[in-house]
Amino acid sequence: MDTNLEMTGNTSSKPKDSVISVKNLYKIYKLGDERVRALNGVSFEIGRGEFCAIVGTSGSGKSTLLNMLAGLEKPTKGEIILEGTHIEKKNENQLVAFRRQHIGFIFQAYDLLPSLTALENVALPLSFRGMRRKERNLRADKMLDMVGLQKYKKHKPTQMSGGQQQRVGMARALVVRPDIIFADEPTGNLDSVTSEEMMHLMQNVVRKKGQTLVMVTHDDHLASYADRIIRIQDGKILSNTLVERKEEGSEADGTPVGANEEKTVAPTE
Ligand SMILES: Nc1ncnc2c1ncn2[C@@H]1O[C@H](COP(=O)(O)OP(=O)(O)OP(=O)(O)O)[C@@H](O)[C@H]1O
Ligand SMILES: [Mg+2]
């Protein structure tokens, strides 16, 4: 048991209604004789309806952590509890079912199907849920409006820019209204203005729909849109901070509208 973590953990940063709970997580990759400790004893909790940013430099373990949270990779040791379910104990079939029911992904590689239009790509996950064509097209249509792609609904991926494709990927992840959304550098291909728009969109998703969003980024500015900022370095958590929510930002004070104030209320560990 990691007593050190328990002793230094500040309970005030613990969410009331925890959706994601990670306990003493390790991921050790073996490369020949060498062992890479991609995750080296990580523990934290994320509450329902939180927008959480996991921030760290390249190679710090962000993607490893996200893949593990999403049940895409098995940890070497430790526990991952999502919605009360231990996902590290599930087999592949159970994981597929769990992901389909609870989880949405926004990846940097947006892997859209090249033969389908933007609308068809976004509607696709709804057909897996047995939704009728008319309803799924309606929902996909609204979601594409939300990400600002009104004019690109009939375009195929090759007829769109990288950033537009990324927004289609985002719409596709959100359309099923998952309980938890994982996003790995979701604005990696977007210019700064579009990135800010996407951050607003993500804030809206969690604030209005009560969804929980976990975003990985190396960008401190993007992280400032989150409610919780978890900093990671060399596979360890450096800090876990709840950020004061700024409901109505104003451009006048120099803060981008919607960005949270970098004011630490509860640093931990
Ligand atoms: N399959 C693997 N086999 C061996 N080592 C790996 C593997 N995947 C990741 N690593 C190592 O684990 C560490 C963490 O990698 P990870 O991909 O999680 O970093 P990251 O924070 O997402 O970086 P980036 O910002 O560059 O995407 C790195 O040192 C990486 O080289
Ligand atoms: Mg990564």
52 SS3 class: strand
The alpha carbon of 67 and the centre of ligand 1 are apart by a number of angstroms equal to 11
Q: What is the pLDDT of residue 166?
A: 84
DSSP 131-156: --HHHHHHHHHHHHHHTT-GGGTT--
Q: What is the pLDDT along the chain (269 residues), one digit of tens a residue?
A: 443 333 333 434 778 889 999 999 999 999 899 999 999 999 999 999 999 999 999 999 999 999 999 999 999 999 999 999 999 999 999 999 999 889 988 876 667 999 999 999 999 989 888 899 999 999 999 999 988 899 999 999 999 988 888 889 989 988 988 999 999 988 877 788 888 888 888 888 778 888 999 999 999 999 999 999 999 999 999 999 998 766 544 444 444 555 665 444 444 44
From residue 87, alpha-carbon distances to 90, 97, 117, 130 in Å are: 5, 11, 34, 25
Q: Is 202 left (phi over 0), alpha (psi -120 to 50) or beta?
A: alpha
∠ Cα 195 99 96 (to 5°): 135
Q: What is the pLDDT of residue 190?
A: 77
Is the minimum distance from the CB of 56 to ligand 1 under 6 angstroms? yes
For the chain, which residues make up each domain, given as ranges? 6-28+36-116+161-265
Closest residue (by CA) to atom 3 of ligand 1? 29
Q: How far apart are CA 38 and CA 28, in angstroms?
A: 6
Q: What is the pLDDT of residue 185?
A: 87
Tell which CATH classification among 3.40.1160.10, 3.30.450.40, 3.40.50.300, 2.30.30.60 matches the domain 6-28+36-116+161-265: 3.40.50.300
Contact 189, 203 (CB under 8 A): no
Q: What is the pLDDT of residue 88?
A: 93
Q: How far apart are CA 52 and CA 230, in angstroms?
A: 7
Contact residues for 51 (Cβ-Cβ < 8 A; gap 6+): 202, 203, 206, 212, 213, 215, 225, 226, 227, 228
268 SS3 class: coil
**CA Rg value for the chain:** 19
Parallel, antiparallel, or unpaired for β 212-217 and 180-184? parallel
Provide the sign of the torsion angle of the four alpha carbons 128, 133, 137, 139, taken in this order.
negative
Q: How many CB atoms lie within 10 A of CB 194?
A: 18
Can you tell me which atom of ligand 1 is nearest the CA of 66? 18
Ligand minimally distant from the alpha carbon of residue 235: 1
Is the minimum distance from the CB of 29 to ligand 1 under 6 angstroms? yes
Q: What is the pLDDT of residue 247?
A: 58
Is the minimum distance from the CB of 54 to ligand 1 under 6 angstroms? no
Q: What is the pLDDT of residue 244?
A: 75
Contact 136, 127 (CB under 8 A): yes
Tokens linked to 5: 């973590």
Contact 74, 82 (CB under 8 A): no
Q: What is the pLDDT of residue 250?
A: 42
Can you tell me which atom of ligand 1 is nearest the CA of 218? 25
